[in-house]
Amino acid sequence: MTQKKKNGAIVAIIAMMFLFAMISFVTNMAAPFGTIWKQHYEWAGMMGNMMNFAAYLFMGIPAGMMITKIGYKKTALVALALGFVGIGVQYLSSTMDAEQLSTYLVYLLGAFICGFCVCILNTVVNPMLNLLGGGGNRGNQLLQTGGSLNSLAATLTPLLAGSMIGTITKDTSLSAVAPLLMIALAIFAASFVIIYFTKIQEPETESQNVMEGVKGAFQYRHLVLGVIAIFFYVGIEIGVPGQMLFYLSEPGGVLGSAAIAGTVAAIYWFLMLVGRFTSTFISGKVSTRAQIITVSTVAIALLLVAIFLPESKTFTLPGSEDNPVDLVLFKFTGGEIPVKCLFIVLCGLCTSVMWGGIFNLATEGLGKYTAAASGIFMTMVVGGGVMPLLQNLLATKVGDIQSYWLIIAMLAFILYYGLIGSKVHKEVGE
């Protein structure tokens, strides 16, 4: 590789990692915003998140088409422009009367437009980092590095949103987070300018018939199972901290404070940052499959502990009635955080490497079908809207903590994928 091409590749990698952070910044506003809207409409808690991810269902494959027609850079610019519009619409809703249903519908429209933005950015960032790394363990290493920046943005977003919202009441409205929306508008505008003037050495793309590309990609069994795994994974990533936000922030509940709940959720995203950062050092030595098997097993164990820990503040072991175990993690003025939340947030270490790992395994050996596979993957990210919504509905019937059985079931499939489903077999139908 010539020095010029090497420098171009480095610039491209930096630009893609910056966009990786933007994806998380937009996505992770939905859950804390949902704690506001749920006070006005009981069913509204996860609907903003659902609209954000529903866009993937419509834009996943077209986003892959855009890459083959206009290239990675121009596709990224389109995404950033859509993000600016989507945040602008959400800001508009913050200036309207929160008691009017039409205001919430305007907000949902903004969330849906932002969904198009993050879907396109995901379609650009993941295959480009994988290809720039040459695939294999090196490709996974770059994906995990970009994921570290993604997690940093994910950590800061609920922290900022929660501090602005404070204690939730019936009078709390989206106007409380209007400054965050203004910051988001400025970031999108600056990002557009930066990417526009950045010269990116793009990987070569092969123009192909969309349906032929999709059909060709689906001939690989490990991709088909990987698509299911990514659907479940995004539901896990969003559902684990999302439902905990409701568990801790609802008025009259465990805490009733969005600020503290946002801080606890931020710890989950921070642990994802730690996990991804650590993975950048070990991914060149430890196989992707081994990482997926390990983290899915550990996550299942952590959630089982969280579910079976008693809801009471103390737990007495048989024969130790005089020394009860304190099941409160932190005590402070205004509330107590149950120790079971510790086991839930620790799942962030496990989910941290799953996205890059599943994408890496599922696209292994696809060659010219990689772009089409990326579009398919982005379509299935709709799982981040569907599964948390189902978990939230399940929580209304069985309770917040018991709803994590759904998360365990999805983790079990990912464990299966790591053990068996990710092995590259002959093409489906042969």
For the chain, give the number of residues.
Answer: 430
Q: Please say if the pLDDT value at position 253 is more than 80.
A: no
Q: How does pLDDT run across 321-345, given as a tens digit for each residue?
A: 566 666 777 766 556 788 888 999 9
* Cα–Cα distance list, 392 to 239, 327, 403, 413 (Å): 8, 25, 8, 20
Over range 338-354, report the average pLDDT: 91
Query: Residue for token digits 């994974």?
Result: 233
Beta bridge partners of 328: 338
- Residue 154 and residue 118 in contact, taking contact as beta carbons nearer than 8 Å: no
pLDDT at 334: 57
Measure the CA–CA gap between 212 and 368, rounded to whole angstroms. 11
Query: Could you tell me which of 259, 189, 228, 226 has the C-alpha nearest to residue 22?
Result: 189
Provide the CB-side half-sphere exposure for 379 (13 A, CA): 19
Measure the CA–CA gap between 247 and 69, rounded to whole angstroms. 45
Choose between 187 and 112: higher pLDDT.
112
Q: What is the pTM of this model?
A: 0.73
Choose between 199 and 289: higher pLDDT.
289
pLDDT band of residue 175 (cuts 50, 70, 90) is: confident
Q: Please say if the pLDDT value at position 101 is more than 90.
A: no
Other beta carbons within 10 Å of 260:
22
Measure the CA–CA gap between 32 and 344, rounded to whole angstroms. 18
Listed range (120-134, 199-213, 263-277, 332-346) with the worst mean pLDDT = 199-213
Burial class (CB in 10 A: 0-12, 13-18, 19+), 315: middle
Provide the CB-side half-sphere exposure for 268 (13 A, CA): 26
pLDDT at 332: 62
- pLDDT > 70 in the chain, percent: 81
Rounded to 5 degrees, φ, ψ at 329 are: -75, -50
Q: Please say if the pLDDT value at position 199 is more than 90.
A: no
Handedness of CA 269, 273, 278, 283 (dihedral sign): positive
Query: Residue for token digits 């990609």?
Result: 217
* Cα–Cα distance list, 395 to 50, 247, 374, 389, 402 (Å): 16, 9, 32, 10, 7
Over range 351-359, report the average pLDDT: 87
pLDDT at 333: 57
Q: Please say if the pLDDT value at position 407 is more than 70.
A: yes
Quickly list DSSP for 119-130. Answer: HHHHHHHHHHHH
Q: Please say if the pLDDT value at position 354 is more than 50.
A: yes
